[in-house]
Amino acid sequence: MTAGRDAGPVCADGVCVTCSDTAVEVVVLALLDDGLAVVDTGRSREEVSVALVRAGVGDHILVHAGEAIARLENPR
């Protein structure tokens, strides 16, 4: 996301997971120290917080603004 001087935030994909109510389904690849995890977004690998959910390697989780907010019982 980049900020425009007059227009406010400008998001590359048209939807910003920081500014909107959109959560992204990802797969946990590795658990790290301090409540963090490496996840596969389908486009890249990113580091997110899993401090609020109980997640393990292979789990599908919903992430919003870099924070896991739910573990999916029946992933797509």
Check which CATH number belongs to the domain holding 43 and give it.
Answer: 2.30.30.140
Can you give the residue range of the structural domain that contains 48?
17-71
pTM value is 0.72
Better pLDDT: 24 or 9: 24
> For residue 38, what are the CA distances in angstroms to 23, 33, 45, 73?
16, 11, 7, 19
Residue 8 has pLDDT above 70, yes or no: no
User: What does the pLDDT average to over 41-52?
Assistant: 93
| Residue 27 β-bridge partners | 40, 60
Residue 34 has pLDDT above 80, yes or no: yes
CA angle 16, 72, 57 (to 5 degrees): 95
Residue 45 has pLDDT above 90, yes or no: yes
User: Is residue 65 included in any domain, yes or no?
Assistant: yes
User: Is residue 4 included in any domain, yes or no?
Assistant: no
User: What does the pLDDT average to over 30-51?
Assistant: 94
User: What does the pLDDT average to over 10-20?
Assistant: 56
Map tokens 């409540």 to a residue: 35
